[in-house]
Amino acid sequence: MSYEHDLRTMQLPATCEDPNGQSGCNSDCLGSEGCICPAGFVMQGSDCINASECECFVAEANLVIPSGESSVNEDCTQKCSCMNNRLICEDYACSTDAVCDVRNETRQCYCNEGYEGDGETCESLYTDCQAVNDAGHGDGVYTIMPTGWPESPFNVHCKMHGDEGWTVFQRRTDDDISFYQNWTTYRDGFGNSRNFWLGNEKLYYLTNQNPPNYELILLLQMGRVYILSLQNFK
């Protein structure tokens, strides 16, 4: 198959490794007269070959998978990958807590809201530190998703005491960060692992999902502990 000349600048020819012509073939072609193949054909060396002759051609989808990338079929039952110009196709299935969808131009399995994972495996997100405690975990940083929270899951520090899981929403260990902030900053939260405020918006959803009775624990560096009980807190 012969090729045709293209006098447009920055014309990148498609190849088996780069069927979309995104990375370019011969750098000395860029910005000058180049060579492109007719539709359905790709450049191999100085010749044009049918795309179906590429090692990573998927006949069912009539596409060539770029080297190092993967593609999932329409019903998310098969995933094909191109590794070193070798096509590898394997069974693929969505978790019962996931959906087959196209997002950001990528078809794959996506976990439902309230779950996290790669789509094939999805695990329920904890709603708060009490849920973390109920699952048998100890102190640490965990990713949670409060009921109704409209944004992405976020990390919190959890402190366990017996069968109770406490969410640390403020920590001040030194003067590294100023707590004299405006309303917007307090709403969104700020700080680092040593000094932080979780955020008013997050606290609203955390307290709104459970019964209106809470206890606040204040731990001072000198070892003192203060407990404040809040009844019908809203």
Domain boundary among 31, 55, 79: 55
pLDDT at 229: 63
Tokens of 91: 């069974």
Domain total of the chain: 3
Compute the distance between CA of residue 233 and CA of residue 187 in angstroms, rounded to an integer: 19
Which residue is it, tokens 């995104």? 22
Cα–Cα distance measured from residue 206 to residue 212, given in angstroms and rounded to the nearest whole number? 11
pLDDT digits (tens, 9 = 90+) for 8-47: 434 556 666 566 655 444 444 444 456 677 777 766 666 7
- Supply 145's token pair: 């998703």
Reduced to 3 states (helix: H, G, I; strand: E, B; else coil), residue 29 is: helix
Mean pLDDT of the chain: 80
One domain, residues 176 and 94: no
Q: Which two tokens stand for residue 59?
A: 């006949």
| DSSP bridge pairs for 129 | none
pLDDT tens sequence across 105-117: 999 999 998 888 9
Which of 85, 87, 142, 143 lies closest to 114 in space, CA to CA? 143
Residue 101 and residue 9 share a domain: no
CATH number at residue 16: 2.10.25
Q: Which two tokens stand for residue 52?
A: 């179906």
206 and 159 inside one domain: yes
Q: Does the pLDDT of residue 141 top 80, yes or no?
A: yes
Residues 150 and 70 in one domain: no
Q: What CA–CA distances, in Å, run from 209 to 46, 95, 202?
A: 65, 27, 11
Q: Does residue 63 surpass a pLDDT of 60? A: yes
Q: Based on the domain organization, do 185 and 115 belong to the same domain?
A: no
Domain housing 189: 125-230
The answer on 131 and 72 residing in a single domain is no
Domain end point (choices 38, 55, 72)? 55
Helix H or strand E encompassing 70: strand 70-72
Strands lying side by side in the sheet with 164-168: 140-144, 154-161, 164-168
The residue among 155, 122, 161, 156 whose CA lies nearest residue 138 is 161
Residue 155 and residue 207 in one domain: yes
- Same domain? For 174 and 114 the reply is no
> Measuring CA to CA, how many Å separate 129 from each of 134, 152, 171, 197?
9, 17, 16, 16
Rg (CA), the chain: 27
Rounded CA separation 51/209 (Å): 55
Cβ atoms of 94 and 115 within 8 Å: the answer is no
- Do 115 and 152 reside in the same domain of the chain? no
Same domain, 175 and 223: yes
Of 13-17, 64-68, 117-121, 148-152, the range with the highest mean pLDDT is 117-121
Same-domain pairing of 216 and 185: yes
- 113 and 140 in one domain? no
Query: Both tokens of residue 198?
Result: 């979780």
> Looking at the DSSP assignment, which residues form a beta bridge with residue 120?
none
* Domain of residue 134, CATH code: 3.90.215.10
